[in-house]
Structure 1
Amino acid sequence: MNGVSAGMLVALVVAGGAGAGIRYVLDVLLMQGRRDAFPVGILVINVTGSGLLGLLTGLGTLVAADWLAVLGIGLLGGYTTFSTVSVDTIQLMRRGRRDWAIVNLVGTFAMAVIAAAIGIVIGGLLPG
């Protein structure tokens, strides 16, 4: 596999599965009793995941490339989810909540980008 070791592939798969599991548990906890409410759980997940990936990126050479891949691509890739934002946005529109749909789509994007930028800045401030 063009430069990817079997061990790295296993680490990515395990980390991705762990990230997806953490996302599921956190979303269930945040949305408990709020079935038809605004999908705040996925919003929180995507914003925190973007911030954490920004932090990892901002740390630069303090994080080895293999660890950056396992944590960034694997764990945080499994944790965050653009596809759920897309489906939630369509479901909100189908329920007649255009206002929530727009806030979900635009708000998720804006807050995730801001969180990533903050993470990169914070990571860059740490001594290396």
Structure 2
Amino acid sequence: MSPAVLFLLVALAGGVGAGLRWLADVLLSRLLPSGFPWAILVVNTTGSFALGLITGAALGTEWLAVLGTGLLGGYTTFSTVAVDTQVLAGEGRGGAAWADALGTLALAVAAALAGLALGASG
């Protein structure tokens, strides 16, 4: 595949991933308790699992670029976690801020590990 085509596929997949993140955030925010960024925590955890899965499956560099960098790069979001954590801290909710930052890190790493193991076993 040519670099130009790969670039376009990564960009398109990134847009789809961002749209999926927005949709998941909207839908999950309606279902989950308010007051904590649960939806983004779910998005980042599922995205980390999916990236681990496709990385473990060794799909090849082009597919990893499209699905990992593009789709899942658009789907997951570190910047939203950083902002949400700062908003919680600014509201005087230090415990929730730490739970968001550390909980996201711990769950995302655990999910990536599970995805890697599952992907490599298939």
1:117 aligns with 2:113: yes
**CA offsets per residue over residues 50-109 of structure 1, 9 Å max, x none?**
00000011112xx13211110000000000000000000000011111111000000000
Question: What is residue 95 of structure 2 aligned with on the other side?
Answer: 99
Q: Give, in whole Å, the separation in 1 of the partners of 2:66 and 2:83.
A: 27
For normalisation by structure 2, the TM-score amounts to: 0.94
Q: Gaps spanning 5+ residues in structure 2: where?
A: none
Match of 1:80 among 76, 94, 103: 76
4+ residue runs of structure 1 moved beyond 2 angstroms? Answer: 32-36
- Residue matched to 1:45: 43
Structure 1 unmatched runs, 5+: none
Q: TM-score, normalised by structure 1?
A: 0.90
The structure whose Rg is larger is 1
Q: What amino acid maps onto 1:6 in structure 2? A: A
The alignment covers a number of residue pairs equal to 122
Identity across matched positions, percent = 50
Q: Which residue of 2 aligns with 1:26?
A: 24
